[in-house]
Structures are given as C-alpha cells and as structure tokens.
Amino acid sequence: MNVPGNQMELREEDIRARYDVATALLSGFDHTPRLARAKDMAPAKSAPERSSGIGTRRRFRSTTPGLVTRSTARPDGVRLIERIEASDGGDALVSAEQAVVMQGLRRALAIALALGDQFSEATGLAALKRANLEDSLAEVKRAEFTELLAAEALAVLAAFANATGFLLASHASETQVEIGAVEEVLTDNAPLALHGALWELDQELATFADELPKLVPTVLAFAEQLMEKVALRAGNAPRLEAFASASYRVEVDDLTLQGFSPSRKTRGAALTMAFKKPNEVVGNHIAKYQAMKLSKMLMAYDFSRKMNPFAELGGFIFTFMGDGAPGTGKTTLIQMMAGLVNEYCQNADYPFRYQNFSIDQIDSYQGKSGQNAKAFVTNVLDPGVIGFGTIDDIDQIAGKRGDKQSSAGQQEVTAVFMEAFAGAGTVVRGNCTFGMFSNYPENVDDALRQRAGARFLVDGPQTREDYIDILALLMGKNHAIPLGAHELFAAQQIKSAVAASFEGYARPREAGLLAVWDQVEADIGALDTVAKLGSYLKAIQQADPRFTGRAIKNITDAVKVRAMDFELPDEWMEQPDLFLFKSYDEKLLMIRDMTQPITVEMVVQEINRYADSEFRYADKSDEVAIEAAVRDMGRMEEAKRRYLRGKV
C-alpha cells in the first residue's frame, strides 16, 4: 500500500487507555434506532442481576449533550458480549472464535476512539468541545462545530470498520454471509455514531450468526458494509481533509489507516524457497508460458469486488495438472510461478499465500488427513489473499477410489479435493489457483484428474538447442569453455517457442488418439465446423469412455484462455496504478479489449492437447497394470516351480 508522507502514529498507550471505554460499549448501552428498523429477533441472553441494557462497567458518556435528536421509539438494550456468547447455542465456555471477535471489536473500538481524539485535536474540534461544555461556544462557531462533529463521526466509524475487518481477516473462512446494506449511520457525534453502528451489528449477529461458524463472517460482512456506507457518506461531507489525506499507523498490529481506503492484512507466510526466473526454465514452453500468464491473471483480482475479471470472462485457470517424467522441471516450474506471484504481490502490497500439501499431511488418525486437506484448501481459497496451492506427487497423496492399496487418509484427501475443485459449493473468485503435479498421473483417480481444468505437460528440454542452453545455465560462469556456434537462450524465446508448441498439436501425438483422428478425418473431412468438431469429440469418447462432459468443459475453458492469448504487460505489474489499482469495471474493459476471436485452429489444438494427455495417462495406466500382472504371474510360476522341486 502506498503510504503518504504525512503519516501519524497512534501510540499503543493511547489505544490501551481506551480499553475500558471500549469494553463498556461491548458490555451494554441503550440505543434508540433512528434510521434503521429493528429486526424481529430473539433478545440476547439476559442477566437477572442487572437491568436490560446496563453494563457492569462504567458507561461511555458523550461530551456533546443536547445534540441527539429525540425519538419516541423504545430504546433497545445492546449487549454485544452476551450476543457473541450466545452464538454457539449456549455453551458455558467461551470458544476461541468468540474470544477472537470480542478482542478484535474491543481493539478496533479503542483504535477508533484514539484516532477520533487525535483528529479532534488536529482540527481544533477539541477546543470547540470544551467551549461547548463550558457554554461559551460562540454563535459564529456553531456551524463549524456541527460540521467537525460529523467529520469526526465519519472518521471514527471508518477507523472502527477498517480496523475490525483488518484484525479479524486472518480468521476468515470460506463461509460467506450477505447482510445487506448498513443503515444506522449517525453523524451527530462520534459516541452516537458508535452506538448506532454497534446497535446494528447486534441486529446482524442476532439475525445471521445463528451458529458459531457464521460469527466471524457476519462481523466481517458488517465491517465491509459499514466501510462502504461511510465512504459513500464522506463523499460530500465537509472538513474531512485532515482524515482523508493522512495515514494513521498502528505499529503493533502492522495496520495503516489511510482515509477511507480499506486496509488489507498480509497473512501469507514469508517464502523461503529458491525462486527461479523464467529464463532458468529450459524447455517446457507451453507450461512455462501458461504459468507466466496465470501469475499475472491472479493479480487482476479485485479485493473489493472479490472477483477476477478473467474469471468472469471465462479465461481463468482454477486448477491445473502438471505431469512429466522425473527430472523434467516440475519443481522448477513451481519455483518460477511462486516467485513471479510473490514479486508482483510485493510490488502491489497485496497479501500472498503459498502453501504446499505434502505426503507428511496424510495422518493415520481417522479423519485427520481430511481435516488437513480441508485446512489447506481453505487457506488458499481465502478471498483476502492471492493464493497459490500446490500438491506435489499427488499420485502418492490422493488415493484412487476403490483401490485397496490406498489408505483411509488418502481416500479422505481425494474426497476433499474433488469437492473443493469442482463441487456443488465451489466458487471460483479468481484470487487463487491450485496446481497438481505428478510423475505418474495415470495413478491419480480419474475423476480427480479430470478436475484439473488445464494440462501442463512438463517434458523438460527436447531439442539440441534446449540441451545446450540447460548445460550452459547449470555450468554457470566459472569456466572458460567457448560457447561455440549457438545463440544462447534463443530457443527459449517464449512467443516463438509457444507458437511452435501449439502448432505441434494440429494433429494428435498419441498413437491411440491419432487413429481416431485419421478415421474421423477420412469420414467427414477437415474439422472446420462446430458439427465436425463435435463428431470428433464423440469419436474420442467412443474410444475412451472416460472422456466425458467434464473433459469438454476443460477443453472449452482452455480455448477461452487461448482467446486471451496475451500476457499482461510487465509495466502493469511494475506500476500498479496502470492496471492493478484500477476499479473492477475498468480492469474488465481493459482485458476485454485485448481478447482475440476463437478460431478453429485453437479448438483443434486444445482438443488434441487435452485428449493426448488422457490417452497418454490411459496407455500408461494400462501398461503399468499389465506389467504388474505379468510380474505377479511370473512370481507365482517361480514359486510353484520351487515348491514342486522341494516336494521331489
């Protein structure tokens, strides 16, 4: 986040000095709604030893009496601590989630109150408040006083909403709660503004947080809606320059409050892997190109809209499968892509989270493996971060259904990944991607493998030029051996290499699929219409029944990606204002302008590329099974021979 030079510190001692006032607000107060209508809801659990709405701690009193418009409506007792405690159905002990919410709200209120006092001193409002209490406020100052009170109220509400969302962001889950617009936004003065906001939060918790998993999402949804409404109200409010143009820093929380712009919490762990540059990935042209494109696609994600324009246009890769023989560069590809996304996110100050799911997370304890897999998926899906999740050696991690050699833990992991990657509740926002990598993809469950929307064939160096390039790269510079007649890395020029690689799929490569191609072409001629392409797909399905409708969806998704066969300019990543910081609608238009029409050649190439991989997996799977059966038969024959020899 770009922070202006006029940054001010909110001191920790000033924030903690307001904890008692914040706790009193959470414990209880009375509020008469003025702009919103109370919802039909069950009251918070009452305490018989005190009157409704009265807290056990000292009350927070306004310093601006007489400014609240009277209402004949009955005041509602607001006891947020009790409301939060009731979210788990009446458990006598406070859960970790409830404690986190209580602490987060208290901290956010204290930060907002400290900021309000600092704003009040900086603008001269504090002196006007003192004059008002002493009944010595000049008549000519009353209009200024009223405007500054409203400005302080908006600043305090913005700080409260912003800090709440920031402090609770690390506890967000995939559970989403839609609460609608916030209405009780009062600007008479800061205390009344907080009363109105907390009253409405109490209403939302009573309505939506009927079970513990919805508690944090409801508070986060409220904070987001409140921030939106306050920013809208601030658009035409006077005397807000001191807040809108300043940055307030809370060092302990690593929080910067910058006007009405939402603060994002960086929750991705620092990466310590050895990143690779694209020129250090030799061969693997299509895989490298797609990984580079996908890295930039992720950066188009809009944190406010929680959606990516590429996902809306249908050109986003949510899951992909990278397969190849051992030593062909799968790990290098992961290091390259993670490095690119990490670099882009650091430049834009976006939170980035990389996680790998490994064989170590398969647990012998029943249900634990599934929990580990679910936690991995949830962390990467987190809509508050740019996420990249990898599953290396997925053939060892996720078991085939019905395979007696797969452990219960592997079966649990398979079920979790299948539901997460293409289940009924899967929502593709475009903020993250999952890569599954394997040396033996034929050993991956067919249904799980088909949930990989894109295929990255990681086949390593192929040509003479590739082998010269990789030798020169790995040898380094500590030698005086002449290069010879070769232009170093010319073969790795990505655009020309990728074009040649795609053209290589004008015809299939696998023998089984090539036979289908030749037969279809002989029967109906060149595949130049949708009907003929559909006939080719049906012929593939007849040759391999596993080629289902999901395969067609993956192919059409790949075609849409090809229609966006452009790489976002490097300048857009280096200078975020050119693209990354633009509004969602602006980014959508910029991407749409770069999209090219879908051609027959694209569709044919993507059908062949995808079907080739399936035939390759099937051929390998069958061959492996046959070889295993032959070995078993051979062992049985040898055992029988030895047994009979011993009987003689």
Give the pLDDT band of residue 553 (cuts 50, 70, 90): confident
**Buried-exposed string 555-586: b where 16+ CB fall within 10 A, e elsewhere:** bbbbbbbbbbbebbeeebbeebeebbebebee
Q: How far is the C-alpha of 430 from the C-alpha of 427, rounded, in Å?
A: 9
**Mean pLDDT, residues 257-267 taken together:** 71
Give CA torsion, residues 257, 262, 263, 268, to 10 deg.
180
Query: What pLDDT does residue 431 have?
Result: 94
Q: Which residues have a Cβ under 8 Å from the Cβ of 35 and sit 6 or more positions away?
A: 183, 184, 185, 186, 196
Task: Burial-class residue 249 by CB neighbours within 10 Å (0-12, 13-18, 19+).
Answer: middle
Given this model, what pLDDT does residue 154 score? Answer: 96
Tokens of 36: 């919103």
**Mean pLDDT, residues 562-580:** 85
**Cα–Cα dist 262/244, whole Å:** 12
Q: What is the mean pLDDT of the segment spanning 240-246?
A: 89
Single-letter amino acid code for the residue at 254? D
Q: For residue 4, what pLDDT is reported?
A: 38
The strand pair at 352-357 and 386-392 is best described as: parallel
- For the cut 80, the answer to whether the pLDDT of residue 296 exceeds it is yes
- pLDDT score, position 268: 45
**Is the model's pTM score more than 0.85?**
no
Full DSSP string of 272-298: -S----GGGS-S-HHHHHHHHHHHHHH
Q: Considering only 111-115, 120-124, 582-586, 619-623, which range has the smallest mean pLDDT?
A: 619-623
Least confident window among 1-10, 152-161, 467-476: 1-10
Comparison of pLDDT for 254 and 233, the residue scoring more? 233
Q: Residues 455, 320: contact at Cβ < 8 Å?
A: yes
How many residues are listed for the chain in this entry? 648
Average pLDDT, the chain: 84
The pLDDT value recorded for residue 557 is 82
Residue 626 parent element (H or E): helix 600-647
Euclidean distance between CA atoms 353 and 384, whole angstroms:
10
> Using one digit for the tens of pLDDT, what is the confidence trace for 615-629?
876 655 556 667 777
Whether the predicted pLDDT of 162 surpasses 80: yes
Q: What is the mean pLDDT of residues 516-526?
A: 93
pLDDT at 1 over 50: no
- Span 575-598, pLDDT tens digits: 999 999 999 999 999 998 888 888
- pLDDT tops 60 at residue 55: no
Mean pLDDT of 222-226: 93
Which residues on adjacent β-strands are paired with residue 455?
321
Query: Would you say the C-alpha torsion 83, 89, 93, 98 has a positive or negative sign?
Result: negative
Q: What superfamily in CATH does domain 278-626 come from?
A: P-loop containing nucleotide triphosphate hydrolases (3.40.50.300)
- The radius of gyration computed from the CA coordinates of the chain, to the nearest angstrom, equals 31
Residue predicted with more confidence, 339 or 456: 339
* Domain boundaries defined on the chain: 7-61+77-258, 278-626
* Range of weakest confidence among 339-348, 493-502, 606-615, 631-640: 493-502
What pLDDT is recorded for position 72? 44
- Of 38-47, 170-179, 230-239, 541-550, which gets the smallest average pLDDT? 38-47
Compute how many other C-beta atoms are within 10 angstroms of the C-beta atom of residue 46: 13
436 closest CA partner among 459, 466, 456, 416: 456
**180-194, 314-328, 497-511: range with lowest mean pLDDT:** 497-511
